Chains A and B, each alone.
Chain A
């Protein structure tokens, strides 16, 4: 299953919930304000550290928010919309944690 999170981890429990629901074969894609969780050094890093899932962030949304690659948490992969489509196709369904 592919999970998407579009909320900042500082205003919503979506990311925390998503991570606790995601199975080990799942992927989590951060989009929109969800990409703030991709920045290293913040409190939200702890949420991701325990996660066993593959973690992605959408680069157009990172760029729009001034988050450069050197500020990203370790182990996170950056994808564009083409990568988003690939992830959605690869996984059997998509769960949007709105």
Chain B
């Protein structure tokens, strides 16, 4: 058994209608303490989780969308967004939050965490994981 496992958090649900996204994000944050090789995938309605401009004040619910911005600080630096899911929903990468991380191997240069990739490529990355968590 490898001491470090490849883990993917697969997010397929919209953020506010159900609690899966919020509680899924909590798993990702706690998981950072275990120093595994982690990435996140946003597929289907999951892409709505990182849409810009979420404001839950009038809905009277917790706005956890700013938490995604903190992921880079916790070394969660690979957020794969499925191109097909964006296109089907009439979205482009500009509709998503500009999530970034500082690359310690590149003089702490600020780099985008979000990578929009096509399904075929994402399925290959998924196949290369050791553990998959679905939220």
Residues of A within 8 A of B (CB): 1, 13, 17, 20-23, 92-98
On whether A93 and B123 interact (CB within 8 A), knowing A17-B43, A17-B44, A98-B12, the answer reads no
Contacts of A1 in B (CB 8 A): 126-127
Chain B at the A interface: mostly helix, strand, loop or mixed?
mixed
Contact between B123 and A13 (Cβ–Cβ < 8 Å)? no
Given contacts A93-B132, A95-B134, 4 further A-B contacts (CB under 8 A): A20-B119, A21-B123, A23-B123, A97-B134
Q: Give the total of B residues in contact with A, Cβ under 8 Å.
A: 14
Docked CA distance A97–B123 (Å): 13
Contact between B119 and A23 (Cβ–Cβ < 8 Å)? no
On whether A21 and B44 interact (CB within 8 A), knowing A95-B10, A95-B134, A96-B134, the answer reads no
Contact between B134 and A98 (Cβ–Cβ < 8 Å)? yes
Contact pick for A13, options B44, B127, B134, CB 8 Å:
B44
Using a CB-CB cutoff of 8 Å, which residues 24-72 of chain B contact chain A? 43-44
Contacts of B131 in A (CB 8 A): 93
Contact pick for A93, options B12, B43, B129, CB 8 Å:
B129
Contacts of B127 in A (CB 8 A): 1, 23
Cβ proximity bits B109-135 to A, threshold 8 Å, 1 near / 0 not:
000000000010011001101111010
A73 CB, min distance to chain B CBs, angstroms: 23
On whether A20 and B123 interact (CB within 8 A), knowing A13-B44, A97-B134, the answer reads yes
Contact between B119 and A21 (Cβ–Cβ < 8 Å)? yes
Chain A to chain B: the 4 pairs with minimum beta-carbon distance, closest first:
A21-B123, A95-B132, A98-B134, A96-B134
Docked CA distance A37–B10 (Å): 23
Using a CB-CB cutoff of 8 Å, which residues 87-129 of chain B contact chain A? 119, 122-123, 126-127, 129
